[in-house]
Amino acid sequence: MTRTVDCGQHGPRGPAFICGHALKAAFEKRPQSFFWTDAEADEPCGWCAYCQARYEAAGGDWVGEAEEKLDAKLICVDCFRDIIALNGYT
């Protein structure tokens, strides 16, 4: 069963996850460094440079402080792709 998110802007879409910091910056239309898994994956994930630094410090795992500070948020995949574009990536 495919999961969906009922997005106020795009309607029913597939889910994606993003760190709260990157989502806040996107709401403010403030580009920043952005890291993400395959945007075409079933449930892509994205995060900011600060989360990337904590991820690397945790040995490349979302554990400890890296996981605690991630503040993951659920959004739709089209919003996710919009955030990738806002940050200057394709």
**Residue-wise pLDDT tens for the chain (90 aa)?**
578 999 999 999 999 999 999 999 999 999 999 999 987 888 999 999 999 999 999 999 999 999 999 999 999 999 999 999 999 987
Measure Cα distances from 41 to 13, 15, 16, 21, 46 in Å. 13, 10, 9, 22, 12
